[in-house]
Structure formats: C-alpha cells, structure tokens
C-alpha cells in the first residue's frame, strides 16, 4: 500500500487510466461480496478463505489455479459476462479518511502500469468535477463497502452455525500436470441438511439462505475453469511447436 497516495485534483488532474489493462488486475482468488453472488455464480467458483489479519472468513471468486493466474483475461479482453468489483477497481484503493472521520478516501497507485497521461479515461473534467469514469470507480467502492459489511455478517453466521468446512481442491489437468489448492473452505452440505427449522427460517429471513445455495452451486464452475486452463496450455503448446 506504500505506493498508494490520496487522489487529489491538483496533483492528478492530468492522469488517465487505461481500463482495458486487465493483465495488471490481480489473479488467483479475488475477494467478492455476497451482493455479487448472483452475477458471479454464472462464471466463477466461489470459495471462502481466511483473512490473514483476523482469521475471519471472506468469500472469493477463483480466477485461476496459481496466485497470479487469471484464466478470464484474454489479451485486453475479460472473457466473462461479469467482472468482480475488486477486479474493476483498477489502480485505486480505499482507506479511512485522514481528515474526515467515518468517511473513506480514494487512493491511487501512480506507478500502476495502467496509469499514464497519454491514453485511457480521464479522471477529472475541467474545473475539477469527477469524470464519468471516476464516478464509476466511486460506485465500485461504494458497492464494495456495502457488500463487505454484508459479507462479514454472512460468513460470521455461517461459522456460528458450523456451516463451513475446509476443502482440499486437487486438480488434474489434461497435460497430466496437477495442483492442489490450500486454505479454501466451502459450505458444509450435511450440516446444512441437519439445520433446525428455526435456523433455516433465520437464514431465509436474513437473505443468507439464497447466498448459501448460490455459493454451493457455484462449485459447478470448477470444471469450466479447468477447461480454460487446459485450452490455454494447449494453445501455448501449439504456438511453441
């Protein structure tokens, strides 16, 4: 985070940000909020992982099998009908405001490869009003903040009801290589089946039940992810011949 500085009209009015530079977006697993589940479930497997600072569970969409692998980026194109909010935040980050308690401020990493002065979206209009692009970034962060609070409530309830289990993901690829993913968690189906009526009603009323089923069904996206990796390996092989 050291590279990030608070976004400031005077300092950053000349900057432009390329929005097609997906290669710079993080790969592996990207944090998502339950408010995204409905959109995410069509494309990505959803797992839970633990936050390294708190040990609390957070949801994430799997984009690839290596920490930096993103199997959805094809050149400058993101090959899926929905892009997770955290992948759309570009070179920006959010931090609690130093001057305005209780509010957040947007930071930018000026050294990010997507940031320059020649091409891409402008950040500010004449006079300092934010551009449509910057407004869209603000909306992304607003959705992340709202969804993040919902996500904490959701995973805390899952943990309290003992609905989370550690899973081992062992993957075999067509080229006979394999990998296994550690530190992932999923919905414990048999615990869900044993849940009392009261607890089920509580989950339904809070909206969590839908998220649980969305999250569970998203695991059907794992074979598709493996297929993406196999296609990529095959393409690389054919190019090198």
Partner 1 sequence: MTTPYAGRIVIVGGGTAGWLTAGIIAAYYRTQDAGGLSVTLVESPNVPIIGVGEGTWPTMRRTLQQMGIAEADFLVACDASFKQGSKFIDWTTSDRQSGDVYYHPFVAPAGFGTTDVASIWAAGPQALPFGDAVSFQPAICEAGLAPKAITTPEYAGVANYGYHLDAGKFAGFLRDHCVGSLGVHHIRADVTAVEAGPDGDIAQLQLDGHAAVTGDLFVDCTGFAAVLIGKHFGVPFKSVQDQLFIDSALAIQLPYNSPSDAIASATLSTAHPAGWIWDIGLPTRRGVGCLYASAFVSSAGALAELSAYVGSQGPPLNDGDVRQLSIVAGHRETFWVGNCVAVGLAAGFVEPLEASSIIMTELAAQMIAGQFPARREAMAIVAKSFNGLFLKRWRAVVDFLKLHYLLSRRTEPFWVTNRQSETVSDTLAERLELWRDRSAAIGDFAAADDIFTAASYQYILHGMGHAVDPPPWAAHRLDGSAAAALFRDVTAMRLAMPQRLPTNRDLLARIKAYGLQKV
Interacting residue ranges for partner 1, rule: CB under 8 A: 50-57, 159, 162, 164-166, 183, 185
- Smallest distance, Å, CB 110 to partner 1? 31
The smaller minimum CB distance to partner 1, of residues 24 and 152, is found at 152
| Pairwise CA distance, residues 204 & 125, whole Å | 45
The smaller minimum CB distance to partner 1, of residues 20 and 51, is found at 51
The smaller minimum CB distance to partner 1, of residues 52 and 98, is found at 52
- Smallest distance, Å, CB 16 to partner 1? 39
- Count of H-run helices and E-run strands, the chain: 7, 13
Contacts 24+ apart (CB under 8 A), 87-90: 87/22, 87/25, 87/26, 87/30, 87/63, 88/140, 89/137, 89/140, 89/141, 89/144, 90/17, 90/19, 90/25, 90/114, 90/137
- Smallest distance, Å, CB 192 to partner 1? 14
- Smallest distance, Å, CB 202 to partner 1? 19
- Smallest distance, Å, CB 177 to partner 1? 25
The smaller minimum CB distance to partner 1, of residues 9 and 56, is found at 56
Burial class for 37, CB neighbours closer than 10 Å (0-12, 13-18, 19+): buried
H-helix segments, the chain: 9-12, 37-40, 132-160, 189-193, 197-206, 208-217, 222-240
Which among 27, 45, 65, 69 is positioned nearest to 185, based on CA atoms? 45
- Smallest distance, Å, CB 72 to partner 1? 27
The two structure tokens encoding residue 159: 């943990």
Q: How far is CA 104 from the centre of its chain?
A: 20
The smaller minimum CB distance to partner 1, of residues 164 and 222, is found at 164
The smaller minimum CB distance to partner 1, of residues 1 and 52, is found at 52
């Amino acid at each position: 985070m050291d590279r990030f500085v608070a976004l400031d009209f005077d300092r950053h009015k000349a900057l432009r940000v390329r929005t097609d530079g997906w290669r710079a977006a993080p790969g592996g697993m990207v944090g998502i909020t339950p408010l995204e589940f409905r959109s995410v479930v069509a494309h990505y497997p959803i797992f839970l992982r633990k936050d390294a600072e708190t040990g609390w569970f957070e949801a994430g969409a799997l984009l690839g099998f290596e920490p930096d692998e993103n199997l959805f980026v094809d050149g400058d194109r993101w090959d899926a009908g929905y892009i997770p909010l955290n992948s759309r935040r570009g070179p920006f980050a959010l931090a609690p405001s130093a001057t305005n308690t209780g509010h957040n401020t947007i930071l930018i990493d000026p050294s990010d490869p997507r940031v320059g002065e020649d091409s891409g979206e402008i950040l500010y209009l004449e006079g300092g009003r934010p551009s449509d692009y910057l407004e869209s970034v603000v909306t992304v962060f607003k959705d992340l903040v709202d969804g993040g609070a919902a996500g904490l409530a959701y995973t805390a309830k899952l943990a309290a009801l003992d609905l989370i289990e550690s899973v081992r993901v062992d993957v075999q690829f067509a080229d006979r290589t394999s990998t296994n993913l550690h530190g992932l968690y999923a919905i414990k189906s048999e615990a869900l089946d044993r849940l009392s009526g009261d607890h089920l009603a509580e989950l339904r009323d809070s909206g969590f039940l839908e998220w649980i089923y969305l999250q569970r069904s998203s695991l059907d996206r794992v074979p598709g992810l493996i297929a993406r990796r196999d296609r990529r390996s095959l393409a690389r092989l054919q190019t090198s011949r």
